Amino acid sequence: MKNIIPQKEENDATLLAEAALKGCEILLTSDQHLLDANQDATKFWRILEESHAQTHQIVIARPREIVRSFSLGR
Residue from 6, 4, 17 nearest 51 by CA: 17
Instruction: Give residue 74's pLDDT.
Output: 56
Q: What is the pTM of this model?
A: 0.70
- Residue 30 has φ and ψ, to the nearest 5°, of -110, 0
What's the total number of domains in the chain?
1
Cα(41)–Cα(54) distance, rounded to whole angstroms? 17
Residue 2 falls inside a structural domain:
no
Instruction: Give residue 56's pLDDT.
Output: 59
Residue 3 falls inside a structural domain:
no
Residue 47 falls inside a structural domain:
yes
| One-letter amino acid for residue 30 of the chain | S
Q: Does residue 7 have a pLDDT over 70? A: yes
Burial 36-66 (b: 16+ CB within 10 A, else e): ebeeeeeebeebbeeeebeeeebebbeeeee
**pLDDT tens for residues 14-68?**
888 888 888 888 889 999 988 888 777 677 777 777 776 665 577 889 999 888 8
